[in-house]
Structure 1
Amino acid sequence: MTESFWLNFVHHHTTWLPLMVALVAFLESVAFVGIVVPGIALLFALSALAGSQALPLHPLLIAGFLGALIGDQSSFLLGRFAAPWLERRWPLNRYPQLQARGLQFFNRYGGLSVVIGRFVGPFRPLMPFVAGSYRMSPLRFSLFNTLSAIAWSPAYLLPGYLTGMGAKQLPLLASPVLEMLIGLFALGLAFQQLHMRLYPDAGLWNWISRHGIDPQRLGVHILLGGSALLFLLTIAAQLSGRFAQMNSSLYAQLYSLGQEIPLLSTFVTHLGDPPLVMTLALTCGVIGHWRFGQKAGWGVTLGVAAAIVINHLLKEALAIPRPSAGQALLESYSFPSGHASGAAAFYTLCAVWLLHNQSHTSRHAGYVATLGLVLLIALSRVLLGVHWPLDILAGLMEGVLIAALYRYALLVWTPRKAIAAVPVMALLLLAALAYSLVRTLI
């Protein structure tokens, strides 16, 4: 009876959940509160509850964004005006080693630490405070804070929301669908954990080196082989027709979810528009060559161009029709997804290029954030109803395969000149966000 009362209360008072999400996101981001508040667990529970009740998703995302934005901004102001007083009091005085690590992190990555720190456990509630206490420019901090909050909200709320929604509709999911999703998640997690441990002097690195194998090249070979194999298996699965029912079942559920968040799906999908990614890829070549005297940026241009050409050839050769909703909007064929392959190629190639000479920690954080963005862009194509799930999986593997080839090339022909990664990264991301915002509003 108590559970029924609570569910009815939530169903009839939908404004409470976004407010609670905003409050938790705010508290989780404040320096002297976020250290002790289990914010991620609370956000997952709240978003899962919203998903199980089929409540609209966009108010939750907006609430999470605003809460995180205001929380980090408040933490920055506290660091700027009250750091000496607060550092002597609970709970900050209980974690001096964490403050020291936060300061070291900030000194190493500068403004980028605000973006990275938002997604890194113990640093999340401390980096804005440290940035404020060390007199970072308020305008510069606000820019990094806003951009990272835009990505943070869906990254931390969508998993819970989809889990709640899936739990409610679990009987509708065919077993192979669940097995495929679990398998892909396990594969991605396994590679993430492997890459995280492949840095000089780590136990895994030393163990591999003792066997006469270059650990860096081993990681690239695994990525090359894995992405190529998955790409070919996805094509084989599409041609065999054995997964048609699973493909349709997953599409129906994701498309249904997409009807609740059309503006968000449209905004995200424009980040992968072929004209945008090709223009930005060409910009990488120009900036690298004429601004930094480095030719490696042209690899990004060539990689994206190759992804677009390969995608077009596969579409015409396989001639797989789009879902009915997609046929009403587009005349081209469906498999593989051009947005998924183009976005995967451009953003992962950029990450490889810009982070090549950075520390392992920076590369790992950058790769994880990039893959999260690419997955959202690919998923938006199904949410909008213009592609089947297998289309976006093939597109993702195509783009990742091209990026893996580029990473291998950089290991063989290391660029002699480094590049200012943060300014170029910020320029490209701001250009993409501005383009997507304009395309969404017009």
Structure 2
Amino acid sequence: MTDILGQIVAFIGDNPSLAGLICFTVAMGEALFIIGLVVPSTVVLVGAGTLIGLGKLDGVSIFIWTVLGATAGDALSYWFGHFYKDKVRKLWPLSRYSSLMDRGEEFFRAHGGKSIFIGRFVPGVKSVVPGIAGMVGMNATRFTIINVTSAIVWSAAHLGPGILAGTALEAIGQISSRLAFVIGGLCVILFLAVMMGRWLILIILPLFPGAHSAIVNWFAKRPGRASQWIAATFDPDHPRSIGMLVSALLLLITMPAFFFFIGEVAPGEPMVRADVAILNLFSSMRTPIGDTIMVFFTSLGDGIVVTVVTVTAALYLFFKRAWRRATGFLIAIGSTAIFVPLFKALLERSRPMALYSGADSFSFPSGHATLNAVLFGICAVLIAHDRNRWIKAAIFTVTAVYVITIGFSRVYLAAHWMSDVLAGFLFGLAMVSAFAFVFGPIHNEKIGRNSLAAIVVGSLTVFGGWHVMTHLDQAIATYEPRNRFQILTQTEWQANGWTQLPKNRIELSGGTKEPLVIQYAGDPSRLAPVLAAHGWSKPPKWSLSTASGFVEGKTPADKLPILPRTQNGRTPALVLIHKDETSDPDGGGRWVLRLWPSRFQILADGSLKRLYVGSILHEAILRPMGEFSGPKTDREAPTVSTNPVRLLPGALIRTWPNGMEVVLCEEPAASPVTPNTTGKPGARSRAN
């Protein structure tokens, strides 16, 4: 999918005239009388703006094409209404949208000539207002002036967010290409969902008035139980039909997603690498205060607390004679409690660190995440039952935040991999959805929602608080960070040990990126002054002032902060930049050197030195429409002869089987000897 989208983007970028024609067509089509309802102008134009932000299209030409299309569409609609007048209402299928034309006419009479300008931005009426203006005889000259003015503003409003989004996606792509692709994909899905909903409400339903009620009534007249159930479920007047449909949809999504995770945690899969990278990231962020907070929440999710809250809630439901819900509640919790250790024993996935014995010593899925999602999710369903939407939203939001916090604590404390927790959430949500679908329609069991909420919160607070306080010190010791370094001697490292380090950077998503062309043993702070003599310097720190450089079209490359990148979840210990004056004297490019810590230490001369891996990238500075400055990686490594760390005394060159070369070096002496070479990655070094 990524390759296909990349080819489409490249094709459009290589054919700007075609892109302009597409923007003209959709901008015009969106403004045509009634027809504009089905034209996805927002999706296309925001997408075009995104391509401008990514540097694939010329912003000025696309803007002109869009303005011309919007102007032409409104003009055609105006003259259509001007010539046909009220005959428009009798033409099929336009006659089906008389209510829409009535709304447009009311809008025009309320706002007069301003409606041409305002109407472009109002969904549901913007495709009819120009036609209404022609039907009521608005002056053509006045209409044209407003039409052109509004087209300029409308085009800027649609392309502008896309340009910002494209610039942001380009920046995110420098951090993680998969993250940028996921965000971009989610935006596309959101746009498509909105458009499908819009078409259904504004286009499809008016063509078939009363179809919904007719279908429901047809099933209601059928004698079978299934037909009666469908009629009750899909009846728009049924107060619980929406909740049941949402529950069914969630169930259909979450269970396949859970089994998808099972296949993705096999050895060698990208998700496994992502788990390691995320775990390393959290390990680098841990603090004593953070550990205490996370241990507090993870202890609240312990099995003994879940058991007490479950028993208390179940006894209350039985006391209130809510037999079916109480039984379903116990079945859901009991089956989950059996399912978790069963799957752990079947998959036998190791935890990040040893904590328990038996089936609990395995990792997938997370018991804390699964059981707490089921327990508090079902309690939330019962407590929110038949309440208004705002109270429901508040109840589910608080529940989700609490359960997600428990799951996050498991990853933070290295008790589980991230995929373990996500899979637990998916299975838990599936169980909650099944419970809501089966027991949601029950209306003859009064459970006392406020009393149930008080009992759940009270038992969690009293027993959970007691459990945490009595076991806090022990739990903190159990989850204490465990740093594990692998030690290599200097000889082992230089011989074959260097092959144990990754040859490409690993993203948080688990994907592999640019080659790691440096392995450096020692203190990174001692490398910076050596490379400073060859033009390498530390980049500007992030601040409001330096960040503003991204929205200015003339910011030099060495004045822009560096976008963050992680290697296997670890943040860089050293970042240096070198201005590239060979490609653009105005500051249009730069080289970026990063060093990340590894899990290895080198034993040399009786002392241990931390081993670091590093990359060197070239970034071109894109300036879409001359108003932004966005870095984009265009070269992923210099040649080995221009790798600046090769200048260090004793540096060695090693070659991977694929031909990629990496430089092994150690920290320089206190007064290093500067070799007679430029050390610039953009030009060939004279030393060899």
User: 1:228 pairs with 255, 271, 275, which one?
Assistant: 255
Give the match's secondary structure for 1:385: coil
C-alpha deviations, 1:129-161, integer Å up to 9, x for none? xxxxxxxxxxxxxxxxxxxxxxxxxxxxxxxxx
Q: How far did 1:343 drift?
A: 0.4
Of 420, 444, 450 in structure 2, the residue corresponding to residue 416 of structure 1 is 444
Could you list the per-position Cα deviations for residues 289-332 of structure 1 after superposition, in whole angstroms to 9, with x for gaps in the alignment? 12455441232222111111111111000000000xx3156661
RMSD: 3.7
Which residue is 1:433 aligned to?
461
SS in 1 for 2:414: coil
Change (3 A) 1:437 1:179: farther
Question: How big is the shift at 1:180?
Answer: 6.0
Structure-2 change in CA distance of 1:380 and 1:328 (3 Å):
same
Equivalent in the alignment of 1:283:
312
Q: In the aligned structure 1, how far is the partner of 2:337 from the partner of 2:324?
A: 21
1:9-24 equivalences in 2 (<5 Å): none
What's 1:83 paired with? none
**Distance of 2:262 and 2:212 partners within structure 1:** 36
Higher RCO (CA < 8 A, seq sep 6+): 1
User: Does residue 1:176 correspond to 2:203, yes or no?
Assistant: no
- Greater strand share, structure number: 2
Measured after TM superposition, the shift of residue 228 of structure 1 is 1.2
Partner of residue 649, structure 2: none
The answer as to whether partners of 1:280 and 1:428 remain within 8 angstroms in 2 is yes
Equivalent residue number for residue 390 of structure 2: 361
Contact 2:384/2:391, CA 8 A, preserved across alignment = yes
In the alignment, the residues of structure 2 paired with residue 209 and residue 269 of structure 1 have an alpha-carbon distance, to the nearest angstrom, of: 48
Name which of 264, 271, 286 aligns with 2:293. Answer: 264
Match of 1:127 in 2: none
Give the structure 2 partner of residue 75 of structure 1.
none
Deviations 1:194-219 (A, max 9, x none): xxxxxxxxx9xx99965754533321
Q: Is the 8 A contact 1:209 1:215 kept in 2?
A: no
Distance (whole Å) between structure 1 residues aligned to residue 264 and residue 211 of structure 2: 35
CA-CA distance at 1:263 after TM superposition: 1.3
CA distance in 2, matches of 1:320, 1:422: 41
Percent identity, aligned pairs only, is: 20
Return the alpha-carbon distance in structure 2 between the equivalents of residues 299 and 407 of structure 1. Answer: 10
Contact 1:355 1:366 in 2 (8 A): yes
Per the alignment, do residues 378 and 397 of structure 1 end up closer, same or farther by CA in structure 2, a change over 3 Å counting?
Answer: same
Give the drift of 1:339: 0.3
Change over 3 Å in CA distance of 1:334–1:292 after alignment to 2: same
Summarize the Cα distance change of 1:369–1:178 in structure 2 as closer, same or farther, 3 Å threshold.
farther
- Equivalence map 1:54-133=2 (5 Å): none
Give secondary structure in 2 for the equivalent of 1:416: coil
Secondary structure of 2:270's aligned partner = coil
Change (3 A) 1:209 1:230: farther
In structure 1, what is the Cα distance between the partners aligned to 2:295 and 2:189?
28
Partner Cα distance (2:455, 2:189) in 1: 32
- What pairs up with 1:319-358 in 2 under 5 angstroms? 319-323=348-352, 326-328=353-355, 332-358=361-387
Residue 271 of structure 2: aligned partner: 243
**Paired residue for 1:148?**
none
Residue-by-residue CA offset, 1:89-129 (whole Å, 9 max, x unaligned): xxxxxxxxxxxxxxxxxxxxxxxxxxxxxxxxxxxxxxxxx
Contact residue 271 and residue 419 of structure 2 kept, 8 A: no
5+ residue gaps in structure 1? 1-169, 192-202
Q: Give the paired residue count.
A: 260
CA distance in 1, matches of 2:297, 2:458: 14
Evaluate the alpha carbon distance shift between residue 231 and residue 173 of structure 1 in structure 2; reply closer, same or farther with a 3 A threshold: farther
Measure, in 2, the Cα distance between the counterparts of 1:232 and 1:430. 36
Asked which structure has the greater CA Rg, the reply is: 2
